[in-house]
Structure 1
Amino acid sequence: MSGRYGQCVVKSAALRGVEAYPVDVEVVVSTGLPGVTVVGMADAAVHESRERVRAALRACGFTMPTDKVVVNLAPSSLKKAGAGFDLPIALGILQATGQLDPALTENRLFVGELSLEGGLREVAGTLAFGICALRHGLGLVAAAGAPQVPLEGLEQLSLARIGALHPGGEGLVPVRGAPPGRCAVEALDYSDIAGHEVAKRALQIAAAGRHGLLMMGPPGSGKTMLASRMTTILPPLTEEEKLESAVVHSVAGEPTDAILSGARPFRSPHHSASQAGLVGGGTPVRPGEISLAHHGILFLDELAEFKSSVLQSIRQPMESGCACITRADGNVVLPADFMLLAASNPCPCGYLGDAEHACKCTDLQVKTYQGRIGGPILDRISIHLDIPRLPPSAVLSTGSGTSSAQLRDGVLAAREYASWRNATAGRPGTGARMRAPDLVAACRMDGVTQAFLEEMAQTCAMSGRSIIGLLSVARTIADMEQRPAVVRDHLAEALGFRLREGVGNL
């Protein structure tokens, strides 16, 4: 296509963490040595787009220019990664060489990976790209298989293959469809678990106030079964929570249908997970398990088996609700507002304290094993729970226990009362997310109750964080009873869920 020179700009976007930022794909065709040059802080996958674009255009009957083609991805200060720039680069070349109507790319944001035959493949982060497009008043054009973005006012179009842009082709197709329906999930219910009524009570309190909970007991005592049903007693996601959580999953390349239908995420990473896998990291930065559990449950089974450095890395996100990944080019903040459930055996053999199996571990082995969890993590978990092994009669009574519906009713009532109480008093936040001064004021303790708390804290050598955690659990227990003030009985029950032999110091 020698002798036809031009330039154009096509809108696209680049991911940084879980947010998409607009990128101008500037294409210039001019005299010079034949070839395609991509500049603007592009990674290897973006540079490889030159070959994919060249093959796709030829396969679809377009002409690849034999002149010099320069592609600039602006702003150059933002790193660009992935194959999503294939489509805007191809459209820029076609428009700069006069093979494409410029009106097609006006006020639209394009993302998509090209196959060598010209087909378009979906890329991770469609929801994030849709949010970016809507924020800047643009429509979104993605692959035909990309999910619908549930944003009112967003024009979403699809393209099956680049050859459809020929005159007379089907061109860009509007995406129309109903919002995702309720996803079929395995029917789990707490009624499946007979006995463990104290554990169910603790889980209900944890769900009502979003408190962290650690279960410790011998193998087969039911720790995992109890944890896996936690989402069945939590309220469904709000519309805002759906979008926030779904964006994280979209960027990570995970399915979003269940989340967009209201189901809270439940993540259970293996204890061999790396720090980047748990907290997030890599190049480009990818969300970790704590971000994938945003507005849901993070269940760490076999807690003592996690590497100490990996486990300690979640301390800051547990309190702040976000993970800050630091890189040479700046910080990336990932959402990580999760509820922590954890389970562990009490010793290497697992049978410490079991009435039916003798523990074979020495005192040093037990202390070393439990010490792997670490005091700072334990200090941030408000509820500690022993899970004993059930007798055979209780195991055979499965299906007769307290149901998830009964527990959920208590959780919803407690949260509704807490929201009303805080709104009436003008206090932001609920449960474990309340500021310490607001929490102390919300407890409305009288002099006798406060003296009891101070005596307990002094006797048990509780840290400041432990005292606030104890108060938070007690406030939740009072909310479940719809009581305006925390009394001695609430503090005593909260302390019973805080203290347990052998876990470690408060």
Structure 2
Amino acid sequence: MHLQCVLKSATIVGVAALPVDVEVVVSNGLPGMTIVGMPDAAVRESQERVRAAIRACGFTMPQDKVVVNLAPGSLRKVGAGFDLPIAAAILGATGQVDSRKLEQYLWAGELSLEGAVRPVKGVIAYASCARDLGLSLAVSCDSQDCAPLEGIEQFGFRSLAGLRTLDPAPLRPKAYERGRALLDFGEIRGHEAAKRAMQIAAAGGHGILLMGPPGSGKTMLAKALPSILPPLGEKERIQAAMVHSVAGEPIGAILAGARPFRCVHHSASMAGLVGGGTPVRPGEISLAHEGVLFLDELPEFSPAALQALRQPMEQGSITVTRADGSVKMPARFMTVAAANPCPCGYFGDPERACTCTPSQVSRYQGRIGGPLLDRIDMHIDVWRCDPGSIIHGGESAGAASAKLSVGVCAAREFARWRIEVLGDEDGDSAASLLSRCRLDSSGEALLESVAKSQGLSGRGIARVLSVARTIADMDESKRVGESHLVEAIGFRMRGCL
């Protein structure tokens, strides 16, 4: 006797699902099940769950030798999501279910001992893989991360017993609400200059460093930033939701258009920040994809973790290399960092004396590192506002998020118009930025003078031009004027760092 069935499944690598053939052969020999093809511990344990689930649902477990091969053999298979495809392939090989109907699906699901199909992480990634293979997706009915992907039918099974009729329930994405932002800029009293800087950063997607003493409002400004960012586009939603789906994070707000906001504690390891582990899983920078990565108390992070941010900040992706290969994950995020100027926090504070020695201040500020600072577009000082404005209210009412977001959306719309109508190239090189800025001779002379006097690197000059172009977009100006350039230069010069 030699019975065989081949079904499609997938394994998660990074944030993508790679196709796997689940081959089952039932032949004469000592009774038992063997799983080959580089399975991890969770996959090897599936044989006990599969046996129990098949019997609990009224099917017959073959009393012969069962060999399960997960191909390709060079790819490590991880997770309990192979329970359902292995069980389905065994039923197809033994003729208890029509194998031709089973072959129409890509299968992913964990089984309980009673045969219930449990959800697995990464349903969006599995759906994308199934669409590429021209198959439908079969997962658990309880999957919470079903997304509206075009060109793919998604179905859910509650139990392995549902394979008798093969009439699964269609999975329909839920309707989600975007929800309220963490904080509105209208709730922050004063800080009009800082709000202007945050608006410019949001309009151009620029990284920004907020430097100031404790209690000056740095964290509040950062948490209010998502309230003025435009909603995610359709493609951006799917990409961001896929990362969160693989990580087992909620995706409702993202599918509703809210941009991710990841607040990372300074105790985070390098693997937790940039991704890693075995198997490789996305880190905070990938979870912040198409959103905001907020690094509070920046100098307190480990130097290795901070320097690992340099590549993804420029490339929009992170490549994690291990002995068995490299995994590339998306990581296009907006960096917002907050820092005290010294260990006690009051260096440069006009109202409270700093107790740190000059060497302590220098050592503390040096923890951030020049190469990382050079990659952050804007640096601003944030000082405590007048207590009277907090107690009695007043001036900040005109700088609420609703008003600031109008300027952000208008600037982004004008930038799109420049690219489409004026033919501006969308690149980060100095030559491309100079072309887009259209500086006159006085503007070029000003930039050259400042670059020499302040020792700006080529990257620093490019960052100044990029911010200046965003400021000009906010004014709907085709050309970057001197006023735009001066304001951008001001954001590059730091007062206390």
Task: Using the TM superposition, name which of 132-141 and 175-184 deviates more.
Answer: 175-184
How big is the shift at 1:177? 3.4
Tell whether 2:292 aligns with 1:297. yes
- Relative to the length of structure 2, the TM-score reads 0.96
Task: Using the TM superposition, name which of 254-263 and 485-494 deviates more.
Answer: 485-494
The C-alpha deviation readout for 1:157-193, integer Å capped at 9, x for no partner, is 11111123346xxx44232535422143356210001
Tell whether 2:82 aligns with 1:85. yes
Closer, same or farther in 2 for the Cα pair 1:226/1:352, shift >3 Å? Answer: same
The C-alpha deviation readout for 1:72-125, integer Å capped at 9, x for no partner, is 111112221111100000111111122222233021100001111211111111
RMSD: 1.5
Q: Counterpart in 2 of 1:322?
A: 317
What is the CA–CA distance in structure 2 between the aligned matches of 1:428 and 1:36, rounded to whole Å?
59
Q: Counterpart in 1 of 2:159?
A: 161
What is the CA–CA distance in structure 2 between the aligned matches of 1:488 and 1:183, rounded to whole Å?
39
Q: Counterpart in 2 of 1:490?
A: 484
Q: Counterpart in 2 of 1:286?
A: 281
How big is the shift at 1:272? 0.4
Q: Counterpart in 1 of 2:270?
A: 275
- Relative to the length of structure 1, the TM-score reads 0.95
How big is the shift at 1:427? 3.3
Tell whether 2:39 aligns with 1:9. no
Structure 1: segments with no counterpart, 5+ residues: none
Q: Counterpart in 2 of 1:150?
A: 148
Closer, same or farther in 2 for the Cα pair 1:450/1:183, shift >3 Å? Answer: closer
CA contact 1:349–1:360 (8 Å) conserved in 2: yes
Q: Counterpart in 2 of 1:471?
A: 465
- For 2:128, give the aligned amino acid: I
- For 1:73, give the aligned amino acid: L
For residue 411 of structure 1, the aligned residue among 398, 408, 412 is 408
What is the CA–CA distance in structure 1 between the aligned matches of 2:419 and 2:99, rounded to whole Å?
55
How big is the shift at 1:136? 1.2
Q: Counterpart in 2 of 1:135?
A: 132
Tell whether 2:212 aligns with 1:223. no
Closer, same or farther in 2 for the Cα pair 1:286/1:172, shift >3 Å? Answer: farther
For residue 96 of structure 2, the aligned residue among 99, 103, 113 is 99
Q: Percent identity?
A: 58
Q: Counterpart in 2 of 1:350?
A: 345
Q: Counterpart in 2 of 1:363?
A: 358
What is the CA–CA distance in structure 2 between the aligned matches of 1:165 and 1:482, rounded to whole Å?
60
Q: Counterpart in 2 of 1:31?
A: 28
**What SS does the corresponding residue of 2:81 show, helix, strand or coil?**
coil
Q: Counterpart in 2 of 1:443?
A: 437
CA contact 1:190–1:401 (8 Å) conserved in 2: no
What is the CA–CA distance in structure 1 between the aligned matches of 2:451 and 2:20, rounded to whole Å?
55
**What SS does the corresponding residue of 1:235 show, helix, strand or coil?**
coil
Q: Counterpart in 1 of 2:208?
A: 213
How big is the shift at 1:424? 2.3
Structure 2: segments with no counterpart, 5+ residues: none
1:108-123 → structure 2 map (5 Å cutoff): 108-123=105-120
What is the CA–CA distance in structure 2 between the aligned matches of 1:284 and 1:446, rounded to whole Å?
53
Tell me the matched-pair count. 494
**What SS does the corresponding residue of 2:80 show, helix, strand or coil?**
coil
**What SS does the corresponding residue of 1:388 show, helix, strand or coil?**
coil
What is the CA–CA distance in structure 1 between the aligned matches of 2:425 and 2:152, rounded to whole Å?
32
The C-alpha deviation readout for 1:117-148, integer Å capped at 9, x for no partner, is 21111111100100111111100000011133
- For 1:458, give the aligned amino acid: K
For residue 55 of structure 1, the aligned residue among 52, 57, 68 is 52
CA contact 2:15–2:329 (8 Å) conserved in 1: yes
**What SS does the corresponding residue of 2:327 show, helix, strand or coil?**
strand
What is the CA–CA distance in structure 2 between the aligned matches of 1:453 and 1:363, rounded to whole Å?
32
- For 2:137, give the aligned amino acid: L
CA contact 1:411–1:480 (8 Å) conserved in 2: yes
Q: Counterpart in 2 of 1:196?
A: 191
**What SS does the corresponding residue of 1:117 show, helix, strand or coil?**
coil
CA contact 2:42–2:78 (8 Å) conserved in 1: yes
Task: Using the TM superposition, name which of 204-213 and 417-426 deviates more.
Answer: 417-426
